[in-house]
Amino acid sequence: MTPNYAVRTVAIVTLGFLILPVIIVIPMSFSSASSMSFPPPGLSLRWYSSFFGSSVWVSATITSAVLALISSTLGLLLGSMASYGLCRRRIMQRGIIESNFMAPMILPTIITAVALYIAFAKIGLLGTLIGLVMAHTILLVPYVMVVMNVAFRSFDLRQEQVSWTMGASWYTTMRRVVLPQLGPNLFAAWVFAFVHSFDEVVVTSFIAGTYNTVPKQMFSELILEISPTITAVATLLIAFTVASLAGATLIMKRSVQTV
Amino acid sequence: MSDIRLSKIRKDYGIFTAVADVDLHVVNGEFLTILGPSGSGKTTLLALIAGLSGPTGGQMHIGSQDVTYTPPQGRNIGLVFQSYALFPHMTVAENVAFPLEVRKWSRSKKDEAVGRVLQMMQLGALSSRKPSQLSGGQQQRVALARAIVFQPNILLLDEPLGALDKKLREELQVELKQLQRRLGITTLLVTHDQEEALSMGDRVMILNEGKVQQIATPEIAYLQPANRFVAEFLGTANIVSVSDGSSRKGILRPERLLLRTSAGTNKGVATVVSDLVYLGQTVRYYLSAADGTSFIAVRPFVGPKFALGSAVNVSWTEEDVWPID
Ligand SMILES: Nc1ncnc2c1ncn2[C@@H]1O[C@H](COP(=O)(O)OP(=O)(O)O)[C@@H](O)[C@H]1O
Ligand SMILES: [Mg+2]
């Protein structure tokens, strides 16, 4: 065995180990058996109909979608502005400010969760939709900033400067010159943020109160009883995540090629 | 159309001074070239005039208006960068129309102005192309068209021809100069190419380490440089003693040296041709004297030639020596 071959084998085994459990969920979700079993004895869509027929799951899905939609849009707005400001302005202590924004991504999520729990308890935001939106927005800003920092840093400042000398205000320059060229980056940042919000469970569990999101509901179900409905939910989540990220990646790639 | 007046304009970055107390008066319709080595503060000075960067000292007037702290939108200045900074998502026509749209010109007035400028810059056939579909020279023209279409008072050009090859650059130098004369627009052109600075400017300003070394007509700057830096930056300079009894040095341009074969005369300094370079229309001779002094002379290609290693006497007229230091 050559070393190269050994490395390759390890890589393939590791990848298989990571992906296999995810893959196994998919056939299980189409199982006709009334408890989780692999391989499935027969095929059916009963767990999908159980998912869509359950008011708990449907309302959790709606909460997740609304929450993800609002907080990813807010995160996109705030994260992009923070990123632009930090890229373009000479600011003292830029490092400190930037790490402050990035902290929710770097700190263990549980710390952010406890911190938000304590803070929200004090100001009465626990268990409110506003509290959830705020918490998710804070968590999403660094994801947006990672994408937009690259975009703004590689954007030629001189295009903006020329636009200003031609009489365009900062706002007009943003709208007519900068943003049209960064559409794909903004879209990708928004998708990453949306997917991340949809996926978030730790902070949500701490502060959501009676609100139920899809991942939070999955957790509760797993604790109580293991229903195969959860495999259908998991499969839908996988499909949604893969499709969104693939779409975002594709659009980013295409924009790189055309510019 | 306006004149520009800078008094004691400076720009400090912390303890580093990028532009040091520049005094400058560019008269209405003048073409001023700004020449200096890389890092001498040329771009910083243009950015200060354009309002893209605020001065840390001094005052600036355009016409009668004090613009020291006026934002770039309020200065009515056309700007062209070396990288052109065209908007890649807009067509040529949209790029050129942009300043007019921002200024809310009426549709008919706008179309008329864009059409006229595109035609003037020979871009009519390219108006619906994107910048990425243009050659470097064409992009340069679009950038220029966009900078003049709104009839700015002043045109600022930061090494606008620096990215082009020599032949195209020479063509565009002539075009640009003609355009500037036709429009009569006060123009500042930054370059690090001394030939470009001397051939294009009504006056040339030489910068070094953020300080003005000299502001003069090309001829004066070339033949009567203010100091040794200017003398050497504007071309080859032979340093000789001034024969007024003092220990002062003076400079002599290479084309001012007279060369004769040593066999025919004993006038001047006896030297040997240590190297020679053919430059097309001229020949450049490197001459070494016995005491270690060296000279550089430029002679027309037609006329007497001197072979490598041959003995040559170098002489000059005293009026051609310009004292420095
Ligand atoms: N934002 C800045 N911060 C610190 N130093 C700067 C900044 N911009 C320019 N400089 C410095 O000022 C000097 C002049 O720069 P510049 O005007 O770009 O020179 P030039 O255009 O003549 O090559 C350089 O040494 C450069 O490093
Ligand atoms: Mg420069």
d(CA A174, CA A184): 15
The SS3 of residue B127 is coil
pLDDT per residue as tens digits for the range B31-79? 999 999 999 999 999 999 999 999 999 999 999 999 999 999 999 999 9
CB A182 within 8 A of CB A256: no
CA distance A175 to chain B (A): 12
Give the model's confidence band at A254: pLDDT under 50 very low, under 70 low, under 90 confident, else very high. Answer: confident
CB B316 within 8 A of CB B257: yes
CB contact under 8 A, B102 and A168: yes
CA atoms of A192 and B41, how far apart (whole Å): 43
| pLDDT value at residue B77 | 95
Query: Is A40 within 8 Å of A32 (Cβ atoms)?
Result: yes
CATH superfamily of A54-258: MetI-like (1.10.3720.10)
Hey, where are the domains in chain B? 4-230, 238-323
pLDDT at A257: 58
The per-residue pLDDT for A51 is 87
Kindly report, residue by residue over A95-123, the tens digit of the pLDDT.
888 888 888 888 999 999 999 999 999 99
- If you take atom 11 of ligand 1, which residue's CA is the nearest one? B18
Pick from B51, B59, B104, B54: nearest CA to B75: B51
8 Å CB contact of A161 and B99 = no
Buried residues in A33-43 as b, exposed as e (16+ CB within 10 A): beebeeebeee
Ligand 1 lined by B40 (C-beta under 6 Å)? yes
- pLDDT tens profile B186-225: 999 999 899 999 999 999 999 999 999 999 999 999 989 9
Contacts of B102 in chain A (CB under 8 A): 163, 166-168, 172
Q: Which atom of ligand 1 is nearest to the CA of B37?
A: 22
Helix (H) or strand (E) holding B274: strand B269-278
DSSP H or E run through B79 = strand B77-80
CB count in 10 Å sphere of residue A60? 21
Break chain A into its structural domains and give their ranges. Answer: 1-44, 54-258
The pTM is what?
0.84
Which of A90, A157, A160, A165 to mutate to probe the B interface, most B CBs <10 Å? Answer: A165
Is B36 near ligand 1, meaning CB less than 6 Å away? yes
Task: Say whether domain B4-230 belongs to CATH 3.20.19.10.
Answer: no
Positive or negative: CA dihedral A39, A42, A43, A45: negative
**Per-residue confidence (pLDDT) for residue A3, from 0 to 100:** 67
User: What is the per-residue DSSP string for A191-243?
Assistant: HHHHHHHHH--HHHHHH-TT---HHHHHHHHHHH---THHHHHHHHHHHHHHH
Instruction: Give me ligand 2 centre to Cα B158, in Å.
Output: 7
Identify the three-state secondary structure at position B252.
strand
Q: How far apart are CA B238 and CA B252, in angstroms?
A: 5
Query: What's the pLDDT at A19?
Result: 86
Instruction: Determine contact: A144 vs chain B, CB below 8 A.
Output: no
pLDDT of residue A245: 87
CA proximity to A136, closest of A78, A217, A67: A67
> What is the pLDDT, as a whole number, of residue A117?
95
Q: Tens digit of pLDDT for each residue in B253-308?
A: 998 898 888 776 677 888 999 999 998 888 999 999 888 889 999 988 887 888 89
To the nearest 10 degrees (0 to 180), the angle between helices A229-258 and A179-199 is 160
CA of A87 vs chain B CAs: smallest distance (Å)? 16
Tokens representing residue A39 in the block: 């391989």
Q: Mind listing the pLDDT tens digit for each residue in A138-186?
A: 999 999 999 999 999 999 999 999 999 999 999 999 999 999 999 999 9
Third-level CATH fold of B238-323 = OB fold (Dihydrolipoamide Acetyltransferase, E2P) (2.40.50)
Ligand nearest to the CA of B20: 1
How high is the mean pLDDT of chain B?
91
